[in-house]
Chain A
């Protein structure tokens, strides 16, 4: 049930763009995106709810295709501060509990160099 992220790692030069993908085999209620820098806690970037939507946050945006159960995170004109590991989290409603669980992918390591 763990979502699959790709690629596993990306190396960019400052100013370049990147796309990180997240896919699930199960029906999702929402998709979350987080960034974790080395030695720090994951930081919430955005949440996309089912219904298919796209969100933007400065030069970082994301889309959620509910039919395909896929989400993509777009980083444009990357900055040094974008370096870190990006995790997608997929939220599903448990069949038995009726409550949601947020399950994370293994992460995509992004390194932006000058």
Chain B
């Protein structure tokens, strides 16, 4: 079956702009989580969505937001980009969330200049 699909794979944006990243989970998976990965901080949790509802949110500023659609596809938005937002953004889907393994997408590499 198809894996987790993230688009785009690479993105270059200018400080102050906004960006939207997309994630299509594995068919049947209802939980979608987003992580920011940087060399210094590792995998940092952004938020988790289940059946269109945000269930958990990490310690990121309000510039980071997301949503999930009825077909479980999810989008993540970052407004007013800063240089420090440059990172690999990973989306992971899970059947129900708790107690189930996550399948990660290949990520979107965001570079802010």
Task: Please give the residue numbers on chain A whose beta carbons come within 8 Å of chain B beta carbons, in ascending order.
Answer: 2, 29-30, 32, 34, 40-44, 46-47, 49, 87, 89, 91, 93-94, 97, 99-107
B64 at the interface (CB under 8 A from A): no
A101 contacts across to B, CB distance below 8 A: 45, 48, 56, 58
Whether a CB of chain A sits under 8 angstroms from the CB of B81 is: no
Instruction: Find chain B residues with CB under 8 A from A102 CB.
Output: 33, 45, 102
Q: Which residue of B lies closest to A104 (CB)?
A: B43
Q: Is chain A's binding surface mostly helix, strand, loop or mixed?
A: strand
By the criterion CB–CB under 8 Å, are A94 and B56 in contact?
yes
Of the four ranges (under 10, 10 to 19, 20 to 34, 35 or more), the interface on chain B belongs to 20 to 34
Q: Could you show 21 A-B contacts with beta carbons less than 8 Å apart?
A: A29-B98, A29-B99, A34-B104, A41-B104, A41-B107, A42-B90, A42-B104, A44-B101, A44-B103, A87-B42, A89-B102, A91-B98, A93-B98, A99-B50, A99-B97, A101-B48, A101-B58, A102-B33, A102-B45, A104-B35, A106-B41
Determine which of B4, B41, B98, B106 lies in contact with A100 in the assembled complex, contact meaning CB atoms within 8 Å: B98
B111 to chain A: closest CB distance in Å? Answer: 15
Q: Would you call B105 an interface residue if the criterion is a C-beta within 8 Å of the partner chain's C-beta atoms?
A: yes
Q: Is B55 engaged at the interface, CB distance under 8 Å to the other chain?
A: yes
Residues on A with beta carbons closer than 8 Å to the beta carbon of B33: 102
Q: A49 vs B104: C-alpha distance in the bound complex, in angstroms? A: 20
By a CB distance below 8 angstroms, the chain A residues around B42 are 2, 87, 104-107
Find chain B residues with CB under 8 A from A107 CB: 42
Residues of B within 8 A of A93 (CB): 98
B10 within 8 A of A: no
In the complex, are the beta carbons of A91 and B107 less than 8 A apart?
A: no
